Every structure is written in structure tokens, then in C-alpha cells.
Structure 1
Amino acid sequence: MTRPPTADQRRIIDAAEPVTGRLAGTPTQLAALVKRGLAFRHPRPPHDHFLTPAGHRVRETVQAEEGAPKEDTAPVSAPTESGVFAARVGGEEAAATGPARTREVHSAWQGLLELRRMTNPGGATDRPCGWERAHLVRAAALALEAAGHPPAGADTAAPPGGGYRVRATPQPEAVAVREPDAEALRACAATLERAGWQVGEHTDPRTRERYLLASPRRTSG
């Protein structure tokens, strides 16, 4: 059985940068995380260290133990000046808005693009990376919020009952995006396509509601 990380290692993992998982620590500490498969050393200068998928799982466990929101309601959890960042999936209550929120979302999106550059073959930033494939709802919600789409229940500018909602689906590597306004739904589709997702519009057979199915694109173009 693999030994759990030490208290010092958990603190280093929990302090990793938002989204990118960039780590700070002594060479000995970072080497120990690499040896345990919780971090990797980037091959290009300055050879920084970043969390592996296993390291991200440990980080999420640490945050859950400390009362951080869970996957469905708190995408891209990361410390910020105002607390815990969470890309909006739609349906949240009493969500903060304004310039501070805009800066946080922009910073998270830029961090995600940097993660794509570091981990995709050839440094491609035009398609989702492994982190996004492991956190589909989080990734799609961040792409939409970063582009300025209002999430349901989180923006008074949205029409009554309007705003996007991103939810997991039984299909592998696919999320559902719902938005009652047809024009806004098409705009969400265009945003996700620009962010590197394959998007198709469908009709719910029970409610006749139109919705999107979006999956991360695997190739450029």
C-alpha cells in the first residue's frame, strides 16, 4: 500500500498555484514528491515542478477535509485573496460579482492556458489538456465564465431563469450545457468551440429543451 504524503508534503501540495499546480519547496522536498509520483519536473527551463494528476487528487482531498466546496459546485478550487476560487457551473446562490471576480476568473483562465502550453504536445494551447479531461465540468464552466457568459443564478443581468448550467453526463468525456435562451445557447457553443471543445446541439426527448453536449477536442484545428 502506498504511504500517504507527510504533513509537510500535504502543505506543499495544498499551496500549489491555482490551476497550473506549480509547486514551491526545497529541492529535496520537490524531489521527494516526484519520487512518489505526486509531482513532475518540467523538461524546459526554468524546470519548475508541477502536480501530477495524482498530486491534484491529493490536493482536492486536503481541501475537502478543510471544508472546501466539492467538484459539482466548486470547479477549479484554488486559494485567492478573497478565499477559495470556484468557476461557476450555474445555480450557485449569493455569488460574488464585480471587478475582483472578473480578475480572479481571468487569472484562472490564463493559468489554464499556461497548463495547456506546458502539458500538451508541442505546447498547443488551442485544445484542452489532461487536467481538463479529468475535470470536465470545471473546465467547461471556466471557459464560459472567462468569456463573459452569465451563469444561472449568479448574475442579475441574466434573464429570469436564464444563464448557463454545466453538468456531468453519463457519456465519457462529455458535459451538458443548458441555457434557456436559444441565442445565448448558441453563443455558449461558439465560446466552447473557440476554447477547443467539440460541441453539438441536441433536444431533450422529454422536455424538448435544446442543450449542448461538449467534449474536449483531441487534435488542433
Structure 2
Amino acid sequence: MTRPPTVAQRRLIEAADPVTGRLRGTQAQLDALVKRGLAFRHPRPPHDHFLTPAGHRIRDAEPQAPAVAEGSASADGGFAARVGGEEEAPVLSGAARLREVRSAWQGLLELRRMTNPGGATDRPCGWERTHLVRAAALALEAAGHLPAGPEGDGYRVRATPQPEAVAVYAPDEPALRACTATLEGAGWQAGAYTEPRTRVRYLLASPRRT
């Protein structure tokens, strides 16, 4: 049975061009993917490396988050930003959790640099657009916002029926405005709305494209 790719190799695979499958990395990293049948070297100059069908299958499966820290907890083994209202606390807490979140955010910025046109880090990348709730939650947690506990106040990020949009709830109007500023600074566009029945205020946020 073929061993699954390492965390570093999976990160490289997930950062491949979403259309062409072109890879970026050191020669040693690319050679390792070729050896495992996950990439091939194009015969024509500049001899770029591209994903094979096997590499595409790995990338198209449910990907891990952009950074994985020891002790992090999520169903797929990757880092899990707190979306608010979780029944279980993360494996790490306090200063260790802060370091884990900071590392995950830096990993996400690197993923943006590697996959966005022109290496832009000021707007979300493809991974974020397919993991909207986790991506928005990471931006909030990395900026120091506190997620809601099972019964406590704090932000909550939830999926919506709208494409490329999440709902963000906060305990009061100042907290909602602070979440707006954070998300806009992280490359999202956000607007405040009121639920017709409950009159609860919330943000509708989506990744900015330009």
C-alpha cells in the first residue's frame, strides 16, 4: 500500500495551480513527488513540474488546513480554527494555542502567496473559498477575537445558503464592527444585516476577488 504524502508534500500538492496543476517548490521536494508518482517533469523548457492524475486525486480530496501544528485537533487531522460554539475545547489552550493559531495564519498567508496571481497575500486563495467557515474563523482568531464557548459570548461563524458567503455573529454591535474590520483587513468583504424574525444582527462575509 502506498504511503500517504507527508504534511509538507500535501501542502505542496494543495498549493498547485488549480487549473494546470503546476507545482512550485524546491528541486528536492519536486523530485520526491515525482518519485511517488504524484508529479511529473515536463519535457520542454522550462521543465516545470505538474500533478499527475494521482496527485490531482489527492488534492481534490478533502484537504487539510494550510498549517498543521502538533496537538491541533480537527476531524481530518489538520489545524482547526475555532468557529465558535464548539462543545469541545481545542487540544491546546493559552499561549500554546496562540502560537498554533499564529503559525496557521502564517501558513495561510504563504498559501496565498504561492497560489494567488502575482503572489498576492491581501486576498483569500482557493483553499479559503472551499473552506469558508474555517477560513473566516482563522482570520478572526488570528486577530485576537475570542470565539464563543458552548454557552458563552464571542464570535460564531456559520455557513449560509449563499455561495461564497458565511454568517458571522457577535455578542454586541461594537464586537460586530470589530469583526468587520478584521475580515476586511484579511481580504474579505463584509456587510451587517438584521435577521427579519429574530432581529439579530450579523455579518455576511465573502472572500474578496480583487
TM range (shorter): 0.7 to 0.9
- Quote how far apart the aligned CAs of 1:204 are: 0.3
Q: Percent identity of the aligned residues?
A: 63
Relative to 1, partners in 2 of residues 1:52 and 1:169: Cα closer, same or farther, differing over 3 Å?
Answer: farther
* Alpha-carbon distance between aligned partners in 2 of 1:144 and 1:52, rounded to the nearest angstrom: 32
- Residue by residue, what CA displacement relative to the aligned partner does 1:79-120 show, whole Å, maximum 9, x if unpaired? 432243310011113414201100110000000000000111
* Alpha-carbon distance between aligned partners in 2 of 1:108 and 1:130, rounded to the nearest angstrom: 16
Kindly report the root-mean-square deviation, in angstroms, between the aligned alpha carbons of the 2 structures. Answer: 3.1
Matched residue, 2:178: 187
Relative to 1, partners in 2 of residues 1:27 and 1:166: Cα closer, same or farther, differing over 3 Å?
Answer: closer
- Residue by residue, what CA displacement relative to the aligned partner does 1:104-148 show, whole Å, maximum 9, x if unpaired? 100000000000001111100000011111111111000000001
Report the number of matched residues: 179
Match of 2:38, SS state, is helix
Flag structure 2 segments of 5+ consecutive residues without an equivalent: 14-28, 41-45, 74-78
Relative to 1, partners in 2 of residues 1:83 and 1:109: Cα closer, same or farther, differing over 3 Å?
Answer: closer
Matched residue, 1:80: 69
Flag structure 1 segments of 5+ consecutive residues without an equivalent: 1-5, 36-43, 64-75, 155-159
- Quote how far apart the aligned CAs of 1:59 are: 5.3
State yes or no: 1:95 paired with 2:114.
Answer: no
> Could you tell me which amino acid in structure 1 is paired with residue 69 of structure 2?
T
Match of 1:80, SS state, is coil
**Contact 2:72/2:80 (<8 A) preserved:** no
When structure 1 is superposed on structure 2, of 121-130 and 94-103 the one drifting more is 94-103
Q: 2:11 aligns with which of 18, 21, 38?
A: 21
> Could you tell me which amino acid in structure 2 is paired with residue 82 of structure 1?
G
TM-score by length of 2: 0.74
- Quote how far apart the aligned CAs of 1:22 are: 2.8
Q: 1:213 aligns with which of 172, 196, 204?
A: 204
Matched residue, 2:22: none
